[in-house]
Structure 1
């Protein structure tokens, strides 16, 4: 498992532990004893003390902010215990980007946290000759024309894999594979949008952000700061606890309904920008995820433009 993935898992544990240590004194808090919890705990415990301290400070900064936004964390009323859990990776594949959940089963309340360590990537989806991204992302299948265009590209990559070739051996991988594949992807995305007016932009964001509201927490070691964003699309965050109101009122975000532009990023051969209404801009960089040639390519997806109403807070922490 890659180092970045291990540190991300460790940060999930740090966030859960921070919630637990902050809230356990005044209420009953229970941690779900799951395999995902133990995996994250082991990754955290295997770090050196300096790395543990950074993750803990980053997590504590996030919890300080979220407590101001979610009074039900500190004001349980009769809804005890508070359950804390780390979700399995499989839920992310099925459309839930949340890593850590805080749950009160009695009143069916929960909030979720997406934990990121030194990066803000949204998704890592793949393209291949067998992946129908239209069906998976939007529940609308891709066209035969799309597959007729991309299949020769992936067939060539499959032949290279059989020869055990490495990506570094290809001096023109952008021109041979990245650019034609992205052109086919853009053309198909435009076709899907044209044939389903108003649907594809919001379904794209729903696919990237998941079907649940959540807090995105990004701890940044070099800056000694934690960035907290509140993706509140469905009205489940920021609720009162009896008469206790949140210190800050979160706005509800509107999903886009229109693409303004889908084209290559200037001076780039591997990245496209998807610009939509409401302030949403998505960067999609395609790359090989392995040193060995494989008949699939991976997207690194970033939200480089977000609605101005998105709640964003930077909470500093000191070593």
Structure 2
């Protein structure tokens, strides 16, 4: 597993550990299992300097939460790793909950801004998931044909792993046609009779259906940026953020590093901008890819603050 993945899991473990200690909380059984099998294992793979930096950043996050979410001082707190619960639509990594059903989620980012990693395949009703409307037959047929052609080409050339293909082959046979098919589906959906529904659904799908804080740590500069994604008015910053009402542009782009057409940029009103990178979901060739979704632009009046740690 990559150093980036170890760092991400390590940061999650560090925050769970510090939250449990500073808030005198309790860790749920699923989270204890995750710590034993994953969190602590990845944390121990990091250097001492990396661990110390994560502990400082985690402490600063909890200090911030105690300032803006003072109920954390007064209630018995349950500390959970969200993904350990399975099937969660919450994009938070760590959630702190009280016995009176109040909770706050934290999305932890270690030098990157990805928010979600949804899959794409010939069988996924992707518009229903993303936009709340049925995927049209044009996209489903086109995607099926792309994967079928790609699989036939791979079999003829005895390819079993994606790394056996050149960037040019992956781009022309898979990445570029999938990105073009998906971008055209988005354009048709946003401009169709259910366009308002599609616009209203896409950000809550990518962000999740619960308000949360995003904490991004830059461990080289020892800087922490916290942003409040408060759509429903549940966060202590009391600064609501508004979803877009229109999509201004959908654009397929080439990656700067490898030149493949595996990026889609979405520009909305109210200052929202989303960039998605298409990549393989497994080392072996299969009918499934993943989107790495990042928010590269959020409203200028959104609440955010910077801290040192």
- 2:15 aligned residue: 15
Change (3 A) 1:185 1:112: same
- 1:122 aligned residue: 115
Q: Which runs of 5+ in 2 are unaligned?
A: none
User: For residues 203 and 148 of structure 1, what CA distance do their matches in structure 2 show?
Assistant: 24
User: For residues 54 and 65 of structure 1, what CA distance do their matches in structure 2 show?
Assistant: 17
- Is 1:147 equivalent to 2:140 in the alignment? yes
CA contact (8 A) 1:120 1:302 kept: yes
SS in 2 for 1:122: strand
| 1:284 aligned to which of 276, 281, 297 | 276
Please state how far the C-alpha of 1:52 moved relative to its aligned partner. Answer: 1.3
Q: Which runs of 5+ in 1 are unaligned?
A: 239-248
CA contact (8 A) 1:262 1:274 kept: yes
Paired residues for 1:191-270 under 5 Å: 191-193=188-190, 194-238=192-236, 249-265=237-253, 269-270=261-262
Please state how far the C-alpha of 1:70 moved relative to its aligned partner. Answer: 1.1
Change (3 A) 1:84 1:134: same
- 1:242 aligned residue: none
User: For residues 59 and 293 of structure 1, what CA distance do their matches in structure 2 show?
Assistant: 38
User: For residues 47 and 232 of structure 2, what CA distance do their matches in structure 1 show?
Assistant: 40
Q: Where is the helix percentage greater, Structure 1 or Structure 2? A: 2
Provide, for residues 66-93 of structure 1, a one-character-per-residue CA deviation record: whole Å limited to 9, x for no partner.
222111122x1xxx322222223564x5
| 1:31 aligned to which of 19, 27, 38 | 27
Please state how far the C-alpha of 1:289 moved relative to its aligned partner. Answer: 4.0
User: For residues 156 and 97 of structure 1, what CA distance do their matches in structure 2 show?
Assistant: 34
TM-align CA RMSD: 2.2
The TM-score with structure 1 as length reference comes to 0.85
Please state how far the C-alpha of 1:165 moved relative to its aligned partner. Answer: 4.9
- After superposing the two structures, state which structure 1 stretch, 257-266 or 223-232, moved more: 257-266
- 2:69 aligned residue: 70
SS in 1 for 2:202: helix
- 1:173 aligned residue: 170
Please state how far the C-alpha of 1:64 moved relative to its aligned partner. Answer: 2.3
Change (3 A) 1:182 1:116: same
CA contact (8 A) 1:230 1:250 kept: no
CA contact (8 A) 1:256 1:278 kept: yes
Change (3 A) 1:46 1:273: closer
Paired residues for 1:274-313 under 5 Å: 274-313=266-305
- Larger relative contact order (Cα-Cα within 8 Å, sequence gap ≥ 6): 1
